[in-house]
Amino acid sequence: MTQKVRRASLAATVFISIFSVLERASAFSNRLPVPSGKFGVAHVAFDWVDSSRPETASTTTGARPELMVYVWYPTEKKSETARAAYLPGAESIAKSMENHDIKQLWGNAWPAIESGQIVGETYDGTRVASGTEKFPLLVFSPGLGVPGTTYTSLIQQLVSRGYIVASIEPTYEVAAVAFPDGRVIVSSPQAMGHNLPSPPDDTKENFLSRMHEFDASHINKWAADVRFVIDRVAALNETAGKDRAPFSDRVDLSNVAAWGHSFGGRAAARVCQLDSRIRACLNADGLGPDGPIFTYNGESLPAQPFMWIEVFHEPPTDAQLAPYKMTRKDWEKDHQAQLATNNQQLKDCPGGSYHVSINLPGIEHFSFSDKPLVEAAATEDARNATQALTVIEDYVSAFFDKHLKRAGDTLLDQAHGSSGVSVEKFGGLPSNDGAHD
């Protein structure tokens, strides 16, 4: 191929990519982007109780963890069943007297969520895709306080590409969870860490120590949720007869990944330390003082391939630093120390790691979810949200394709990929040929 042809090919690829983003953005009118994979998407809801451990966030004596779990799976493109509600139980949540957290999460978009105006491409409980292909299992944990269905676009994209996704609603630690019998459990301030004591003349070291203690128990709890869900999906995969699930006998349990956003991303890293059934681990924009992987005394880092994908965050302004009595010089010093900690942790992962960093117009912490798109007030906002979501989808898919489907040539293997994205590889992974633009 000549240099001229190469340039023409690259230009065509960029044009097609931009056109695809514009097409998806311009089509948005309370309808989420259509996933690009060959499969349709359906999900089925489960109300599961883990009788093996106590529910530490409940005030009820003898309470056990009860989780709503949505299992999304591939179907044929055309479905005879109705589209699934974007937020299941929205009517019950809206009637609850204690739903302020979810209203605050969605802001001006809440009326559209509550009334069911947001339309996705997921169907309720239809038949699994024809054939005998088995699909890898991804267990997803959302950000603290955020319902799992807020990530519908990203989940739909992965399912359309041939994955089964089990999405967990962490009871008491998500804004509101609606159960099939009409109950609504809202977030607990104690479970969310809103009431952590702050003594007079508190120091940064003491504050970080209290946060580390809080995170340690909660991350362990979320990791236990993930392991419990893998157990239940594995049991359903073997179930026959009237009790079988639509996806029974179609789950590839030899290829399981843990995945999460923000706090859920740190929980995903933790469960990889605890469960050898998991073959890959992805943390989406979850970071603490100790790095993207929470450190437990005496514990080694995950042995599985690990990816930390983060988005660009604007540095704090001087006005934002002032209440903390922190100078710009102090912040820069702490920031450089944090970068060094992150880098060392990724280098030390036994199974190798990726660090994917994305800097695009308008990108933010919630760009992994539908929130920026649903809240978009102008065409440019919708375009930026869709572009960010598309790039995130591409790199998340590449990681799972490579380590669960053994794909040989993905975005993670290319020396130059999407503009605004950098990729670093560490450890047992192939060496990187250079950062992206």
- Reported as a single tens digit per residue, the pLDDT across 206-224 is 777 888 888 999 999 999 9
Rounded CA separation 289/341 (Å) = 8
Mean pLDDT of 255-262: 98
What the block records as the tokens of 345 is 């942790």
Structural contact between residues 412 and 423, judged by C-beta atoms closer than 8 angstroms: yes
3-state secondary structure of 117: coil
Give the per-residue pLDDT at 59: 87
Select the more confidently predicted residue: 218 or 26. 218
Give the per-residue pLDDT at 128: 97
Q: What is the pLDDT of residues 97-135, one digit of tens each?
A: 666 788 889 998 999 999 999 999 999 989 999 999 999
Structural contact between residues 63 and 49, judged by C-beta atoms closer than 8 angstroms: no
Q: 1: pLDDT confidence band, cut at 50, 70 and 90?
A: very low
What element of type H or E holds 338? helix 328-348
Beta pairing class for 135-141 and 122-124: unpaired
3-state secondary structure of 313: coil
Strands (E), 12-151: 40-49, 66-75, 122-124, 135-141
Strands (E), 80-155: 122-124, 135-141
What the block records as the tokens of 342 is 């992150």
Phi, psi of 75 (to 5 degrees): -135, 180
Rounded CA separation 31/2 (Å) = 42
Which residues in 393-405 are b (16+ Cβ under 10 Å) and which e?
Answer: bbbbbbbbbbbbb
pTM for this model (two decimals)? 0.89
Which residues 6+ apart lie within 8 Å of 386 measured at CB? 21, 24, 25, 28, 33, 373
Task: For the chain, list the domains and their CATH numbers.
Answer: 3-333+356-390 (3.40.50.1820)
Rounded CA separation 387/398 (Å) = 17
**14 has a pLDDT exceeding 50:** no
Beta pairing class for 353-358 and 421-426: antiparallel
